[in-house]
Amino acid sequence: MSDFDTSNDRRVDKEEFVIGISKWLTEAKRSRRQGSVSSDPVDHFHEKTKKDLLGGHDQSDELVEGIVNAKTIIVKAVLYLLLGTAIAAAFADPLVDAVDNFSSATSIPKFFISFIALPLATNSSEAVSAIIFATRKKKRTSSLTFSALYGAVTMNNVLCLSVFLALVYIRGLTWDFSSEVLVIFIVCTIMGLFGSLRTTFPLWTASIAFLLYPFSLALVYVLDYFFGWS
């Protein structure tokens, strides 16, 4: 800025702008003659100025590092998935028994424990990770956060629900979860429309996402206890 605002009045007029640009072009051509660059001198001077202004790195986004060993990453990811599946299978029945016993001991309906306490406990890690990524205020980390959330929604409401429905159908179990599935469908449809029709998410979209949680709880409660769906 000092190369342009020679009068120090915090304003750049036409004459000062021409003088400043001429000075920059002269310096760029001088660098070319000195043999310090092998490409276009103006481009080199632009990169040099950008580096000086940004402190040596681009603050608009993060550098993306390549994956050194893709096969190792894939094998490790598969092993983690298998380990998580084994842990879930081992602790599924004890968790259900714990919910039943806790509901009986505290006289709290199982509905509130299953749809309020357990989701907060199981999804707390994803919420904390999303907040940590969001505090970095980087375009790439924000995109990764949305990708992780979409992946979690897909796993919870599509894959897990599909497996559950397959078990119900194959083993001929009694279907008592119509209200829950309807609420999941409504919430996924609303948020899916937001995710499909928008590429940027203003702050007011977060309020809608937050309001969907108490709305879904209230709707399940009304359908179960007033209309007898369950």
**206 and 153 both lie in a single domain:** yes
- Count of domains in the chain? 3
The pLDDT value recorded for residue 79 is 92
The Cα–Cα gap between 70 and 64 comes to 15
Cα→Cα distances 114→12, 99, 119, 122, 182, Å: 65, 8, 7, 11, 16
The pLDDT value recorded for residue 68 is 59
The pLDDT value recorded for residue 47 is 61
pLDDT tens across the length of the chain (230 residues): 666 667 777 677 777 777 877 877 777 677 656 554 445 555 555 565 555 544 444 444 444 445 557 788 888 888 988 898 788 778 878 888 888 888 888 888 777 787 777 877 777 777 787 788 778 777 777 777 777 777 777 777 677 777 777 888 888 888 777 888 788 888 888 888 887 888 777 888 888 888 998 898 888 888 888 888 76
**50 and 154 both lie in a single domain:** no
Q: Domain of 223?
A: 109-227
**87 and 147 both lie in a single domain:** no
**130 and 220 both lie in a single domain:** yes
**115 and 186 both lie in a single domain:** yes
**121 and 83 both lie in a single domain:** no
Residue 128 lies in a domain: yes
**72 and 181 both lie in a single domain:** no
The pLDDT value recorded for residue 63 is 45
**160 and 201 both lie in a single domain:** yes
**115 and 214 both lie in a single domain:** yes
Residue 161 lies in a domain: yes
Residue 78 lies in a domain: yes
Residue 29 lies in a domain: yes
The pLDDT value recorded for residue 51 is 58
**162 and 181 both lie in a single domain:** yes
Residue 93 lies in a domain: yes
The pLDDT value recorded for residue 114 is 75
**113 and 223 both lie in a single domain:** yes
Residue 48 lies in a domain: yes
**101 and 164 both lie in a single domain:** no
The pLDDT value recorded for residue 179 is 83
